[in-house]
Structure 1
Amino acid sequence: IRLSQSPANSSMPAPTLGQHNEEVLIELLGYTKEQVDDLRKAGAIGS
């Protein structure tokens, strides 16, 4: 979409798949670091 009065300004690329897994699990869902590590070891989430 192009808007004539709004300059396109994309300074950051989109996040990669799973980039914020740990942050979401710990800060938003209340998981502990150990629980996240267990999920990673089990292959449930990427690194």
Structure 2
Amino acid sequence: MDRSASINSTVLDVVNFRVVFDMASPTEGTIEEQVAMLAKLQEQGLISHIG
């Protein structure tokens, strides 16, 4: 089941985006996909603020 379908709220006031990498060794990668999805949800009016 999609998590967004289980939320009974029209708009989330704040979504805090956190990325945890392995602190013992450097990790390469991009967060572009996740940030783009949050921005899309914000454009749709489902998220007021991204933190």
TM-score in terms of structure 1 length: 0.39
Structure with higher strand content:
2
Structure with higher helix content:
1
Larger Rg: 1
